[in-house]
């Protein structure tokens, strides 16, 4: 993965605890984790994993402007979204650039349930795409992607998410962060 820590200040928007959080904390200056629904126990775990980050359990459409003000004061270099089920308002682009780690090979299968849709359609290969955030769902400029073949037999969706994120998604994101963004 990433051998050296970047001084890039990042904010992660996610609705799911995953190995992405500690990987980003090791590879960047992860300033803040924004998520709306994690239970209190997860917040404690996140604070343990990322002691120098601010964990915000407060993003909802009605609190979006307050979160944006707090983030603006932090002056991050990059907003990253992964498994975050809200579209950030356009004014978030005024804070800094944003990217999304999406679990499909865009432009195919945008939206909230790409893996379920791919499995339903019998797609043999999955992937991850990193694209710039825009107001259109999963429609920003594609920055990088990786393809993999679905394992047979296919494990549960939770195990599949975890294993492919570790094997493909996190390395893709960390390599991109090292190179360009």
pLDDT tens per residue, range 126-150: 999 999 999 899 999 999 999 999 8
Return the pLDDT at 38: 59
Return the pLDDT at 3: 47
Token duo for residue 22:
């500690």
Query: Could you give the CA distance from residue 100 to residue 10 in angstroms, rounded to a whole number?
Result: 13
Only one residue has tokens 């296919």, namely 154
Query: Could you give the CA distance from residue 28 to residue 8 in angstroms, rounded to a whole number?
Result: 6
CB-CB contact of 181 with 9 (8 Å): no
Query: Could you give the CA distance from residue 174 to residue 5 in angstroms, rounded to a whole number?
Result: 10
Which has the higher per-residue pLDDT, 109 or 40?
A: 109
Confidence of residue 93 (pLDDT cuts 50, 70, 90): very high
Confidence of residue 1 (pLDDT cuts 50, 70, 90): very low
Give yes or no for residue 37 having a pLDDT over 80. no
């Amino acid at each position: 993965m990433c051998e050296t820590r970047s001084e890039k200040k990042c904010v992660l928007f996610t609705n799911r605890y995953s190995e992405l959080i500690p990987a980003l904390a090791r590879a960047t200056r992860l300033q803040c984790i924004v998520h709306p629904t994690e239970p209190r126990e997860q917040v404690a775990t996140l604070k343990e994993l990322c002691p120098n980050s601010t964990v915000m359990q407060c993003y909802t459409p009605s609190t979006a402007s307050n979160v944006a003000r707090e983030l603006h004061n932090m002056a991050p270099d990059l907003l990253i979204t992964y498994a975050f089920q809200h579209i950030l308002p356009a004014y978030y682009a005024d804070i800094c650039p944003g990217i999304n780690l999406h679990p499909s090979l865009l432009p195919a299968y945008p939206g909230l349930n790409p893996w379920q849709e791919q499995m339903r359609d019998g797609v043999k290969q999955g992937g991850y795409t990193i694209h710039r955030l825009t107001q259109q769902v999963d429609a920003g400029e594609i920055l990088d992607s990786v393809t993999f073949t679905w394992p047979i037999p296919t494990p549960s969706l939770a195990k599949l998410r975890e294993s492919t994120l570790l094997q493909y998604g996190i390395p893709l994101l960390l390599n991109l962060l090292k190179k360009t963004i």
